[in-house]
Amino acid sequence: MKREEVKFEYDVFENSEELTESDAALMDAARKVTTKAYAPYSKFLVGAVAKLVNGETVSGTNQENASYPVGICAERVLLSAASMLYTDVAIDTIAITYHNLNGESSKPVSPCGMCRQALKEYEERTGQPIRLILAGMTGKVFIIERSTQLLPFSFGGADMK
């Protein structure tokens, strides 16, 4: 038997003021877009804003539904909008944040498993790593250089051949 290890590194900033000007602006835009989330059940408003390689930005918010499986996360709303509005244009960076109306919003949270898979597919399709900036409304900020780092042993198109 052989034991192997999977790990990755990410950057931790104490707050948004430590970010570069462009990263701080993208996170600020994500924080603002949380107000457009439709989350009447969870009261957990998620906003995501992407900077595309062509300089354009696209945003998305979570959209809940009384029939919970019908809802969709902010990240997948963003990816759908980006692929529709800017077909085959790669995403450089996505800032993802949340506003928890029932509690704290002061630490980074990461995309769910379904969104991780969708991010992986988008990266694979465009051939461009997607950098993630994760934060709450305040507090620490995480920067992950490739979204695929969040999904080791991922499943993709190559597995179906």
Would you give the end-to-end CA distance of the chain in angstroms? Answer: 28
Distances 66 to 44, 92, 111, 115, 124 between C-alpha atoms, Å: 14, 34, 21, 20, 33
Query: 82: domain range?
Result: 11-149
Q: What is the pLDDT of residues 35-76, one digit of tens each?
A: 999 999 999 999 999 999 999 999 999 999 999 889 999 999
- The answer to whether residue 3 is domain-embedded is no
- The answer to whether residue 39 is domain-embedded is yes
Cite the active site residues: 75
- The answer to whether residue 6 is domain-embedded is no
Please state, for a pLDDT cut of 90, what percent of the chain lies above it: 93
- The answer to whether residue 5 is domain-embedded is no
User: pTM of the prediction?
Assistant: 0.96
Whether pLDDT at 156 is above 90: no
- The answer to whether residue 161 is domain-embedded is no
| CATH number assigned to the domain comprising residue 130 | 3.40.140.10
- The answer to whether residue 4 is domain-embedded is no
Q: How many domains does the chain have?
A: 1
